[in-house]
Amino acid sequence: MASRRPLLRLLAQSRIQSRLSNSACRRTISSFSASSKASQHPLARYLGVTALSLLVATPLFYKMAVDEPYMLDAPTLAERDQQTKRAEAITNASPMRLRMEKFIKEQQVEIVRALEAIDGTKFRVDEWQRKEGGGGITCVLQEGKVFEKAGAGISAVYGTLPKAAILKMRANHKNLVNGANEIPESIEFFAAGLSLICHPRNPMAPTIHLNYRYFETANPDGSSGAWWFGGGSDLTPNYLFEEDAILFHKSLKDTCDAHNKEFYPKFKKWCDEYFYNKHRRESRGIGGIFFDDLDETTADKESLFAFIQESLKSFVPTYTTIMNKRKDMPFTEKEKEWQQIRRGRYVEFNLVHDRGTAFGLNTPGPRVESILMSMPLTATWKYMYEPEPGSREEKLEKVLREPKEWV
């Protein structure tokens, strides 16, 4: 079921009451960014500067630690990670938190480059931090040649889970308190994820969405406690091209099958159940995969990280193939109108049913523009709009009402 652990999944979607991670470091980055060479890609430049700042920021951190007495307390997970990032490069031996963060940053660059290549328009890059702690990078391309709107956002936050949340989580993650007799008052956590959405102009080209995320708690001794991965990707066409649906699902199935033959059927069903516009009695799109809580009861951390990496990496080749076929297809005004109606349904799903969006918007101090980058540029609601019998629009509706097996 999609709703096994709503709180945790939402926490894992990473806009949360969280504590400061790296504001000193960010400030260094910002001041560097301003003077960086304009010829570099802005996002690549940002990441290049990050690596540099990890080195130059070390003396600053040392000074703070000496000057400010509160730094003498046991360091938080965030502080320990900062220290690690400053002291050494991220390798396969680094904590998964840092490997996941590095991976999604790299993937964000890859994805942004690929979408810019399709569109010919640059993304706007916004680095942000919440007053409450944590932050991310939101990249948006708006009113491009091919995309009405495309957004790729990453976030990585540290925070503290209160006792009530721990009690709820324990039911599904036995190792959350590591066999301790007493439930602690709070546990530190880390959550990082990458979210992507593309709304193309051409009604023949499908909207795509994906999200991959990692969640981890810390034991009191500083070691990793409970951890799990979540994610998935789903396709939302306005007009059905079976070859696209098959390509999309086959690509996901191949990645799944390489890890576990049970993944694809299970995650495909989960996706159909999650992305369901209940009040319309139809799916948001033609599905894909959706999963959460992949922990040691499913496979070891290394294997699951490999699965997450391959799933995310499969986006660029698959979507590029589909877009190259669809982005320049001829279309009519009526087909554009249908796309806009489908966009309205997309808005309905995201604002009425999507637990991630609801959780994000209801969190204190949300970055609303990052959460709602998933909104289409435009949408339409026509009262009692009904596709003509036998039309391509009706054909799509039928598929949305009865999810198909594509591979």
Give the footprint of its own copies on this chain (CB under 8 A): 124, 126, 140, 142, 149, 151, 278-280, 340, 344, 347-348, 351-352, 358, 361-362, 366, 368-369, 372-373, 375-384
Residue 112's contacts (CB-CB under 8 Å, 6 or more residues apart) are 41, 43, 123, 125, 139, 152
DSSP classification of residue 10: H
N-term to C-term CA, the chain: 22
Q: Which is nearer to its own copies, 193 or 376 (CB)?
A: 376
Kind and range of the H or E run holding 137: strand 135-142
Smallest separation, CB 4 to its own copies (Å) = 20
Q: Which is nearer to its own copies, 291 or 359 (CB)?
A: 359
Q: What are phi and psi of 242, to 5 degrees?
A: -60, -35
Closest CA to 259 of 316, 225, 300, 214: 300
Q: Which is nearer to its own copies, 72 or 384 (CB)?
A: 384
Q: What does the radius of gyration of the chain's CA atoms come to, in whole angstroms? A: 22
Residue 38's contacts (CB-CB under 8 Å, 6 or more residues apart) are none
Residue 101's contacts (CB-CB under 8 Å, 6 or more residues apart) are 156, 192
Smallest separation, CB 157 to its own copies (Å) = 18
Pairing state between β 207-218 and 147-162: unpaired
Smallest separation, CB 150 to its own copies (Å) = 10
Active-site residue, from 209, 249, 279, 353? 209
Q: Which is nearer to its own copies, 257 or 369 (CB)?
A: 369
Burial degree of 129 (CB within 10 A; 0-12, 13-18, 19+): middle
Q: Which is nearer to its own copies, 75 or 344 (CB)?
A: 344
Is 209 designated active site?
yes
In this structure, the chain runs to a length of: 407
Smallest separation, CB 375 to its own copies (Å) = 4
Smallest separation, CB 367 to its own copies (Å) = 10
Smallest separation, CB 138 to its own copies (Å) = 8
Closest CA to 233 of 250, 247, 252: 252
Q: What are phi and psi of 163, to 5 degrees?
A: -55, -45
Q: Which is nearer to its own copies, 136 or 230 (CB)?
A: 136
Q: Which is nearer to its own copies, 273 or 369 (CB)?
A: 369
Smallest separation, CB 379 to its own copies (Å) = 6
Smallest separation, CB 340 to its own copies (Å) = 7
What does the alpha-carbon distance between residue 274 and residue 312 come to, in Å, rounded to a whole number? 19
What does the alpha-carbon distance between residue 372 and residue 350 come to, in Å, rounded to a whole number? 9
Closest CA to 14 of 193, 211, 139, 162: 193
What does the alpha-carbon distance between residue 206 and residue 328 come to, in Å, rounded to a whole number? 13
Angle between helices 315-326 and 96-119 (to 10 degrees): 20
Residue 369's contacts (CB-CB under 8 Å, 6 or more residues apart) are 126, 138
DSSP 3-state assignment of 191? strand
Q: Which is nearer to its own copies, 177 or 208 (CB)?
A: 208
Show which residues are catalytic. Answer: 209
